[in-house]
Every structure is written in structure tokens, then in C-alpha cells.
Amino acid sequence: MTTEADRGAPRVSPLYDPKVRGIAYQVVLALVIVFVVYEAATNAIENLRAAKIASGFGFWTVEAGFDINQKLIPFSSTGGSTYGDAFLVGLLNTLIVAAFGIVLATILGFVIGIARLSKNWIIAKLSMVYVEVIRNTPLLLQLLFWYNAVLKPLPDPRNSVSLFGAIFLNNRGVVMPTPIAGPNFDWTWIATLVAIVVWIVLSYVARKQQAATGKRFPANLIGFALFIFLPLIAFWAAGGPLTFEYPKQSRFNLTGGMQIYPEFVALLLGLTIYTAAFIAENVRAGILAVSKGQSEAAHALGLSNGQTLRLIVVPQAMRVIIPPLTSQYLNLTKNSSLAVAIGYPDLVQVFTGTVLNQTGQAVEVIAITMLVYLTISLTTSFFMNIYNSRMALVER
Amino acid sequence: MKSILKAAAFGIAALGLTVGAASAQGVLQKVKERGQVICGTGLGIAGFGMPDEKGVWKGIDIDYCRAIAAAILNDPMKVKTVSLTAKDRFTALQSGEIDVLIRTTTWTMSRDTSLGLNFAGINYYDGQGFMVRKSMNIKSALELNGASVCTQQGTTTELNLADYFRANKMKYEVVAFVTNDETIKAYEAGRCDVFTTDASGLFAERLKFAKPDDHMILPEIISKEPLAASVRHGDDQWFDLVKWVHYAMLNAEELGVTQANVDQMLKSDNPEIKRLLGTEGKFGEMIGVSNDWVVRIVKNVGNYGEVFERNVGMGSPLKIERGKNNLWTKGGLQYAPPIR
Ligand SMILES: N[C@@H](CCC(=O)N[C@@H](CS)C(=O)NCC(=O)O)C(=O)O
């Protein structure tokens, strides 16, 4: 068979070649975009200068002069922390609430999603009510509700509820003793690491063995036991090198100890419960997408209910679940910026709130913040896509 | 990716254009064409800017805005208010969304110089204070070591707080909210031991509490908060006008010109009053309005003293003393350059 191209059609001008045209359009578009961005940026800089509004990134290293309560890295106005440090504090606060939120929402979402398909009428209906109520009310409202629900019933710090005289609960949050590692505590970390490595190796060997001989070997059980006991043994052998700093009552608050702030708890609760409702629907849809014949066939082969779910239904359902799950994770991360409403110092609250206001550099601050969310989102998508391609149907 | 780039490009372009457009035509000209002054205000703080039962905005800041409208358009109601949180207010002014910001805003050096703003007319001399529950038995702010403090973000308050505790070697926990209402609710719910903001704000907010008498304001005033109007840098005509509206109201009070007697005062022989009310000289024209501009202001809004008493003074629920806000002739700081 011969085509136009094979015969060689040199007379057709490249002007009419769709391929050449396509590339030309792309190049022109790219140039236009570059031009527009360049023009806009220089124009903005010029105008900011004319309006005597400070511009540039010099503010990054200027002392911030304010304080933030929840911080994962040291930050204080006394210590001369900068606006750049404030950015990091906010970013870490966003990441930590998003990370916890994603894990908890996934667990809760799977539980609710499966419960909605339960044969037990009450469980199924309760899950349905949960999903419908949560999905159909605004998240902001829920956050305010949780913040008040967390704050209102708790006593003031002078009347804290105490658990074992060590953990205290009051309307300033949960205060726990701070663990202080002794000199030989590193052995415990090393033992943990060893246990994890052994676990990975074991499960790899077990998979190989099952593929080769069909024999199953309880690698995960053994791995898990190692993971728990090895560090414990190391800890005990090193003489229990751990002490605690206990919180003490002072005039206003408990001092010393680690504190989990009510703003964090409320935000985490709100995000988890809200996102779980959406994840539950994804999970339900995913499971329903696996045809009934699949489980019937599995049962016919003698697989138990658990095995059928684990080996037949879930892997196939995952293909349907993962793509929408990714967008739920992205939603959760972005929704965490509603933290401003309840005073949780996330990136938006600290950086586009206080820092933007104190420096007045809206363009720079907003641009950086957008870039950060874009980066977080693209990174999340990237990893979810890897996971997805591993779960995807292998076409033969 | 391409669509993101495109969106970003348009975003930046739009921003560049608005920043540019903001300075193209004088604000005064625009106000005249529009027939309306657009003022940036708060979300609602008694005495300074809050809608009443009928939805009409009232307050000392609002009256400043109404006086500007009266001077230009001879109608104090030709005012549009835009409610802004503390953290958003400067961006709204910079971007040209509002003509003037009159929102309990402290005049500071950095705001004046690096935000592209100019401050005019200090309409209230304030300072930052602390509020606590009476049941805590606290007599002085120096006893606050270790306390949790609720405050509003994007304010000088946030910074003074850090300074004060640092200077007195005390520890504290700060919980910062976007709006005053959120801050107050958290304080009332017991999240904080202390609520801090400008002293005037403490008085105003205490009125909102279920039991105002359970709370007290500590004696220490820890900062200088000259609350002033601000406009965009670079429009001197508009800047002059906003500045002189305030001075006119002060001069009116000083010369005894009130809402009630302004018509008789038009017949006065006192040369200062004649210049003030435009029966002599062309002072209105100098700032681009008609020469009876002060008559319009005083008739429609009143002089500074009347505005103060009506909104925050003895004629209001706040019952704040004139104090520093009295005229310089009566021991206060309010001092206007002469109209001549
Ligand atoms: N003067 C300070 C604080 C300004 C501020 O936001 N004050 C509060 C409390 S007094 C307020 O007026 N809020 C007005 C509102 O929310 O309506 C500043 O300029 O940074």
C-alpha cells in the first residue's frame, strides 16, 4: 500500500502541511504568552514603583515582629524571626493538617463507603444520612461548628480534665508531657529502622516464593511483630532512656509539655469529616463498578469473603476510586486555607494575612502562595498518578 | 499547564492594568462624575462605623466620609461604603477599589512610606489596651505573664502586643483572627484570657457582650494609635481635599460654628469665620470644590466636636471622654492649621 507521503508529494507547500501548521501555531501561542507575561510583569513593576508601593523580595529577611502560637520550627518575635520564617511556619502548618487530614479522611471515607453498601439496613442508612448531610452543607459552616463544639464544652485551664495526671484537656487544647530522649535512645530508632527493612525484605521474599511455589508465608504478620517488639527490646536493653517533662499549672495556662491547639483539632475534624463524605461516595461507586460476577466467580473458586474483597474486588475497585480520590486530596489541601475563619495559622492565614498586610506586598505574597499550592497539588497528583498506573489494568 | 500559564498571564496583566489605571485620572474628578464617594470601612464597630437598625452606616469614621461627600456633592448620603477586614484594607485602597480608607487605621511610618499611601486627618487619637475578665483579679497588664491573648491579624495591635511582652520579658500565646467578631467570640468562649485592640475598640466591643460588667479594661495603654484617613500616593489634589475636610471640621469647632448656628454665622464679621464659610476668599476653589464647602459640611454633618459627641462621646452609648481628642485650646491634641 502506498500513501501520499510515500509517493512523495514535494509540490504540497509546507504552508498547507497540517503538521507544520500545528507546530507553527504552538510556537506563536507560546511567544504570545511569553510576551504577555513579560509585558504584564514589567508593567506591574513599573506601576508599583510609580505608586510608591514597595516591591521585590527584600522583605523575606526582615524581622517579622509578631508571634504565632502553633509552630513546628522555632519562631518568635524575641528571636528576630523573619517574614521568611513566618512563611515556613505557615507552610508547615498547612502541610501537617493536610497530611493528617488525608490519612484520616481516607480511613473514614473507606469505612463509610463500605458501610453504605452494608446489608445491615441501619448501618447503610446511617452512612447515607452522614454523606448527604455533610456533603450538602458548606464546609466553612462546619468548621465554625466544630470550633465551637471543641471550645464550648471544655473547661478553662484552671479546671482542666486530666487523664492519669499527665494529659490535660481544656479550652486551650490538649497538653501532654514532652518526651525527652536520653543518651542511648538512638538505639530505639535504629531498631525501628532495622525492623522496617526486614519487613520489606520479608514481604518481597514471600511474594517471590508464592509466585514460584504457590506457598504462602505470613510475612506481614512477622514484619509487624518485629516492628513492634524490636524497638521495645532495644529501648529496654538501653535502660529505658526516656524522661518526661510534665505540664505545670500556672496562673493562666499549663506551662511546659506539648500542646495540641483547639484550632488544629477543629480544622482537622472539619476537613476529615467533610472530605470523608466525598471519599465514601467514590469508594461506593468504585465497589459498585466491579461486576457481581467477579465475586461470584471468586466464591466459586473457594475464596472466603475477606479474600474475595481483598484480592478480587478492591484491586479492581481501586482503578475507579483513585482518580477521584486524588482530586479529593487536592480539595482537602486547598480547603485547609479556610483555617483563617477559626484562627489556625496556616499558610494563608499567616502569609497572605499578616505578612501581606504588614509588608503590603500583595503581588509577591499572592504569587508565592499560588506557586506553593500549585506545587503541593502537582506533587500530590504526581504520586497519585504513579500509584494509579501501578494499579491500572495491565492490558495484555 | 498551558491554561494555567494563560490564566496567570491574564491575571498579572489585569493587575498591571488596574494599578496603572488607578492613577490615570484624579479621584476628585471621578467622584464628581460618579456622584459618589467610595469609602473603605470596617465590618462594624460601634461609634466608628456600623450600620444602624435601618441599615444606615453611622460612626465617627463614616461621618468623616459623609463630610467629604458633603463638601464635593453637597449631599452626605452620596457615600458608598465598602466593608474591609483589617488585613485586606490596604490592598483595597492600593488597587483603586475605594477612594479613601477611613477605618480605625493607625498612621505608621511603614504604611505611609512603603504601602504607597498618604495619611491625612487624624480623626481619633487612640492607644492599645487590654481587656480581661474581672474574675481573674488582675490589676495591671504586667501581671499577664503566660496568658493567652486573642487579637485581630493584620493590625498594629499584633505587633505592639509582641513588643510589649518582649519588653517586659513576659511570655504569652497569641491567637489571631481575621475579624473583630471572631476575635471577640473566641475571647468570650474562654479561648483567651485577654482581648487586645485599640482602647476605643475595647469600649465599643464590650457593649456587645452578654454581660459587659464581667469584663474590665486594664489601665495600661501600650502604644500610640493615631487613627487617620488614608489615600493613594500620587494624587495630591485628592489628598489635600481629604486632609482639609478634617481641618475644616476642627476649625469650625474652634470658631464655634455648629450645625445649628451655621446659617447665622454666615453673617458674622469675624474674618476667620468669613474665610471658613467662604463669604470671603476662594478657599473652596483651591481644593476643587465650591467656596461654601464648609457650610455644606457643617450643615450636613456638623463640626468635629458634634461628630465626636454624637458617635463616641457622651451622646453615645460609648461615653468616651474627649481627652486627647479635645481641641488644643482645651488641652487636647486636635489642632488644625488655619484657613488663610
Ligand atoms: N488601629 C489598628 C487596629 C485597627 C482595627 O482593625 N481595629 C478593629 C478593632 S478597634 C476595628 O476597628 N475593626 C473594625 C471592624 O471590624 O469593623 C490598625 O490600624 O492596625
Q: Looking at residue B203, what is its pLDDT?
A: 93
Strand pairing report for B37-41 and B79-83: parallel
Interface size between A and B, measured as CB pairs under 8 A: 163
Look at residue B12 and tell me whether its pLDDT is greater than 60. Answer: no
Dist CA B63 CA B71 (whole Å): 12
Dist CA A121 CA A124 (whole Å): 5
Look at residue B13 and tell me whether its pLDDT is greater than 60. Answer: no
SS (H, E, C) chain A: CCCHHHHCCCCCCHHHCHHHHHHHHHHHHHHHHHHHHHHHHHHHHHHHHHCCECCCCHHHHCECCCCCCCCCCCCCCCCCCEHHHHHHHHHHHHHHHHHHHHHHHHHHHHHHHHHHCCCCHHHHHHHHHHHHHHHCCCHHHHHHHHHHHHHCCCCCHHHCEEECCCEEEECCEEEECEEEECCCCHHHHHHHHHHHHHHHHHHHHHHHHHHHHCCCCCHHHHHHHHHHHHHHHHHHHCCCCEEEECCEECCCCEECCEEECHHHHHHHHHHHHHHHHHHHHHHHHHHHCCCHHHHHHHHHCCCCHHHHHHHHHHHHHHHHHHHHHHHHHHHHHHHHHHHHHHCCCCHHHHHHHHHHHHHCCHHHHHHHHHHHHHHHHHHHHHHHHHHHHHHCCCCC
Look at residue B2 and tell me whether its pLDDT is greater than 50. Answer: no
CB contact under 8 A, A40 and B147: no
Dist CA B131 CA B215 (whole Å): 7
Look at residue B17 and tell me whether its pLDDT is greater than 50. Answer: no
CB contact under 8 A, A354 and B87: yes
* Residue B88 CB-density burial (10 A; 0-12 exposed, 13-18 middle, 19+ buried): buried
Q: Looking at residue A119, what is its pLDDT?
A: 87
Q: Looking at residue B9, what is its pLDDT?
A: 46
Q: Phi-psi region for residue A256, left (φ > 0), alpha (ψ -120 to 50) or beta?
A: left
Q: Are B275 and B50 in contact (CB under 8 A)?
A: no
Q: Looking at residue B21, what is its pLDDT?
A: 46
Low-confidence ranges of chain A (pLDDT < 70): 1-11, 394-396
Q: Do domains B27-126+226-330 and B128-223 have the same CATH topology?
A: yes
Domain boundaries along the sequence of chain B: 27-126+226-330, 128-223
Cell numbers representing residue A298 in the block: 471468586
Nearest chain A residue (CA) to B149: A69
Q: Least CB-CB distance to A356: which of B87, B166, B190? A: B87
Residue of A256, A236, A257 whose CA lies nearest to A185: A236
Dist CA B115 CA A59 (whole Å): 13
Radius of gyration of chain A (CA): 28
Dist CA A362 CA B289 (whole Å): 34
Mean of pLDDT values over B258-262: 96
Nearest CA to ligand 1 atom 3: B155
Q: Looking at residue A11, what is its pLDDT?
A: 66
CA of B194 to the centre of ligand 1 (A): 17
CA of A386 to the centre of ligand 1 (A): 49
CATH fold of the domain at B27-126+226-330: D-Maltodextrin-Binding Protein; domain 2 (3.40.190)
Mean of pLDDT values over B247-260: 97
Q: Considering only CB atoms, which chain B residues are within 8 Å of A262?
A: 191
Which of these ranges, A317-326, B20-29, B78-87, B240-249, has the smallest mean pLDDT?
Answer: B20-29
Q: Looking at residue A246, what is its pLDDT?
A: 84
- Mutational test site, ligand 1, from B39, B81, B84, B198, max ligand atoms within 8 Å of CB: B198
Look at residue B14 and tell me whether its pLDDT is greater than 80. Answer: no
- Amino acid in the structure at residue A191: A
% of residues, chain B, pLDDT over 70: 93
Residue linked to cell 513599573: A46
Q: Looking at residue A395, what is its pLDDT?
A: 62
- Mutational test site, ligand 1, from B41, B45, B156, B196, max ligand atoms within 8 Å of CB: B45
Q: CB within 6 Å of ligand 1 — which residues?
A: B 42-45, 86, 104-106, 152, 155-157, 179-180, 197-198, 201, 225, 227
The secondary structure element, H or E, covering residue B20 is helix B2-22
pLDDT by residue (tens digit) across B93-117? 999 999 999 999 999 999 999 899 9
* Residue B82 CB-density burial (10 A; 0-12 exposed, 13-18 middle, 19+ buried): middle
Question: CB contact, 8 Å: A345 with chain B?
Answer: yes
Per-residue confidence band for B22, with pLDDT thresholds at 50, 70 and 90: very low
Q: Looking at residue B7, what is its pLDDT?
A: 47
Question: For residue A193, what are the contacts with CB-CB under 8 A and spacing of at least 6?
Answer: none
Mean of pLDDT values over B16-40: 78
Q: Looking at residue A10, what is its pLDDT?
A: 60
Q: What is the ipTM of this complex?
A: 0.84
Cell numbers representing residue A127 in the block: 452512612
Q: Are A336 and A101 in contact (CB under 8 A)?
A: yes
Q: Looking at residue A257, what is its pLDDT?
A: 81
Domain B128-223 indexed as CATH 1.20.1440.130: no
Mean of pLDDT values over B194-215: 93
Residue of A370, A355, A60, A360 whose CA lies nearest to B94: A360
Q: Are B175 and B188 in contact (CB under 8 A)?
A: no
Q: Considering only CB atoms, which chain B residues are within 8 Å of A47?
A: 16, 19-20, 23
Dist CA B273 CA B296 (whole Å): 14
Look at residue B252 and tell me whether its pLDDT is greater than 80. Answer: yes
- Amino acid in the structure at residue A78: T
